[in-house]
Amino acid sequence: MTDPLPQPALPESIAARFAGLDVSAFRGQTRVVVPAAEAHGLLAALRAEGFDLLVDVTCVDYLEYRGATRRYGLVYLLASTGGGQRLTVRVFLDDPQPAIPTVVDVWPGAEWLEREVWDMFGIRFEGHPDLRRLLMPEAFTAHPLRKDYPLQGRGERHNFPVLTRDEG
């Protein structure tokens, strides 16, 4: 996979409007780091610029990552259905109360992806129409993909009544 796909850098109109963004590339993928306050504006501008497909919204918890200074790194993967281009937008957030404006108004498909990030990482998306847990039960209190949550959980999986033959 060493042959990099043809990847353009940021479109010029975006680069002009949002000055001072940290743009980098790795294995042919362009990445942009944007402050949380400007994220919504940049993403909306990118959509208007042709990145019409929101491929994924996810997050990485950098709690134990060597060299990391911020705790949460949101990842927005964008693509254009016409030109086959891709772009990764990164937003870094910190404890306590990590929060960012939602992009559901830009891509309606972001609704469930953001719900999943809320469920797994506890990042609040402000303005989200229906920010409930997506995968875990409503009674669950932790955010399992955070690095300080153990793999085997904290015993929630054993909290059920036992049915025996007599009760059947």
Partner 1 sequence: MSIAPSDHDTRRPADAREEDYLWTLNFGPQHPATHTTLRLVLKLEGERVVDAMPEMGYLHSGFEKIGEHLSYNQYVTVTDRMNYISPMANNVAWHHAVERLMGIELTPRCKVIRTIVAELARISDHLLCNGAVGLDTGAFTFFLYAFYQREVIYDIFETLCGARFTNSYTRVGGVSQDFTPLVVEKIRTFLRTFPKTLDDMERLLTRNRIFVDRTKGVGVLSREEAIAHGATGPVARASGVTRDLRKDEPYLAYADYDFQVCCASAGDCYARYLVRMQEMRESLRILNAAIENLPAGEVNVGIDERVARPSKWQVYSTIEGTISHFELSMANRGFEAPHEESYAAIEAPNGELGFYVVGDGTENAYRARCRPPSVLHFALFPRLIRGHTLSDVVAVLGSLNIIAAELDR
Partner 2 sequence: MALELPENVVVSRLDELANWCRKNSLWPMPFATACCGIELMATGASKHDLARFGAEVFRFSPRQCDLMIVAGRVVMKMLPVLQRIWLQMHEPKWCISMGACASTGGVFDTYAVVQGIDRFIPVDMYVPGCPPRPEQLIQAIIDLQDKIQAEGTITGREFGTRQRQARKRALVEALGPTGVDAARNPVVQRDLRLALQDSPSRPSAASPPR
Residues in contact with partner 2 by CB under 8 A are 136-137, 139-142, 144, 149-168
Instruction: Based on the shown chain and the rule CB under 8 A, indicate whether residue 13 belongs to the binding site for partner 1.
Output: no
**Residue with smaller CB distance to partner 2, 35 or 153:** 153
Give helix then strand counts, H and E, for the chain: 3, 7
For residue 112, the partner it binds in partner 2, partner 1, none, with Cβ less than 5 to 8 A by kind, is partner 1
Tell me the HSE value of 162 on the side-chain side, using a 13 A CA sphere. 3
For residue 27, the partner it binds in partner 2, partner 1, none, with Cβ less than 5 to 8 A by kind, is partner 1
Among 15, 17, 18, 29, binds partner 1 (CB under 8 A): 29
Gap between the Cα atoms of 12 and 86, Å rounded: 15
Task: Look at residue 72 and give its three-state secondary structure.
Answer: strand
For residue 16, the partner it binds in partner 1, partner 2, none, with Cβ less than 5 to 8 A by kind, is none
User: What would the DSSP string read from start to end of 98-116?
Assistant: -EEE--TTT-TTHHHHHHH
Task: Look at residue 88 and give its three-state secondary structure.
Answer: strand
For residue 123, the partner it binds in partner 1, partner 2, none, with Cβ less than 5 to 8 A by kind, is none
Instruction: Based on the shown chain and the rule CB under 8 A, indicate whether residue 45 belongs to the binding site for partner 1.
Output: no
